[in-house]
Amino acid sequence: MTIINELQLSKDLIRFPSVTPIDAGAIKFLSGKLKKLGFNCKILEFKSKKSKPIKNLYARIGKKGPNLCYAGHTDVVPPGSVKDWTTNPFIPAVKKNHLIGRGANDMKSSIACFVSAVSRFLQKNRKFNGSISFLITGDEEGYAINGTKKVVDYLRKRKEKIDFCIVGEPTNPNKLGEMIKIGRRGSLSGKIEIKGTQGHIAYPHLSNNPINTIVSICKKLRENKLDNGNKNFQPSNLEFTSINVDNKAHNVIPARARAQFNIRYNNLHTSKSLKKKVNLIVKKISKKNKCSYKIDYIANGDAFLTKPGKTIFMAKKIIKKITKINPILSTTGGTSDARFIKKISPCLEFGLVNKTMHRVDECVSLKDLRDLTKIYNYILVEYFK
């Protein structure tokens, strides 16, 4: 059995310019690596009318339970101007004991660490009692329409059971070992459009300025405290991200005003209950000001929580042993593909340090690569004892 080196595989994966939705060959390459380890690999391509086709991978070794799954993504965000980088973002370089490249911590290197850990595990435990699987998507950084969500549907239809899933997102703010994610807040985005009556600025009584209404709505929604949080989650929060009128004339009252917002919310709400709250406020103020309105929503998944149990406490203990840091169990941060996987399996998220993700010169320390590989390997050993 060949041992796969985590640093070399990280470099290999970074070389694929797999900016969502472009795969650039990353999934096929990873599939080839896993086949050599004995995995049965299935490349799943999904597409829809409104989005480009996406390649995904489900790979499994073993035919019986329990099935421990690792989930991750090979797609990355755009690098921005290559001139701003000290090295080409898709030509990995090692400088000052750090690997630099787009995807170095979000999250190609994490995938490499788990593959390396699996290769080490299989060398000593070829006939282990259970299964190991990989659920890898190329659509995590984009709209997530044809990625993990559809792979989960595919697995459900095939009655493929996953007993526990480790999502390799970079969960640590500053040092490896600080944080395990056991849940995530929900995310709901919305666009509000208010239609008034256009007119001359000198005759306001002949018009109905939609700006006044949109300002009142924004003020009311911000003042309307959603909750105080709870034991596992921080308070829910609504933020406006844009107010737009598209009016360049100084002497014209506009016909329309728009605002967009996002709510990051805890498990005291659902997207349905929040839509109801927002609709009520927008409708009430619009009616009072004699304006019409339209609201469009994008729901990115409700909040979820994996109740800490045997596997989470086992992982916590191993992380502390390797890093000398006692990780906190957290639900902070943005969304991840765990929001889809939690429908079929309990999850925890643990990966590298997220300090440089999505930034110029995204990087990961070589020590963290080695330590994360050790952590994943020990988890495999303990899980299949």
* Token pair listed for 194: 């208010």
Q: What is the spatial distance between Cα 243 and Cα 260, in angstroms, rounded to a whole number?
A: 7
344: CB partners within 8 A, 6+ apart: 152, 155, 156, 161, 162
Q: Which residues pair with 39 in a beta bridge?
A: none
* 3 state SS of 67: strand
- Given 3.10.20.70, 3.40.640.10, 3.30.70.360, 1.20.1050.10, which CATH number is that of 186-299? 3.30.70.360
In this prediction, residue 144 carries a pLDDT of: 86
Is-catalytic flag, 75? yes
Going from the C-alpha of 369 to that of each of 85, 107, 308, 321, the distances in angstroms are 22, 12, 26, 16
In this prediction, residue 102 carries a pLDDT of: 98
From the candidates 6, 12, 75, 160, give the one annotated as an active-site residue: 75
Domain ranges for the chain, please list them. Answer: 6-184+303-383, 186-299
In this prediction, residue 37 carries a pLDDT of: 97
Q: Which residues pair with 239 in a beta bridge?
A: 262
In this prediction, residue 345 carries a pLDDT of: 97
Q: Which CATH superfamily is domain 6-184+303-383 in?
A: Zn peptidases (3.40.630.10)
Is-catalytic flag, 45? no
Query: What is the block-wise mean pLDDT of the chain (385 residues), using blocks of 10 residues?
Result: 93 98 97 97 92 94 97 97 96 97 97 98 94 97 91 96 98 97 95 98 96 98 96 95 95 97 96 98 98 95 93 98 98 90 96 96 98 98 97
CA angle 180, 182, 183 (to 5 degrees): 130
Chain centroid, CA 354 distance in Å:
12
From the candidates 140, 302, 368, 371, give the one annotated as an active-site residue: 140
* Contact (Cβ atoms closer than 8 angstroms) between residue 118 and residue 24: no
Would you list the DSSP string of 259-283?
EEEEEEE-TT--HHHHHHHHHHHHH
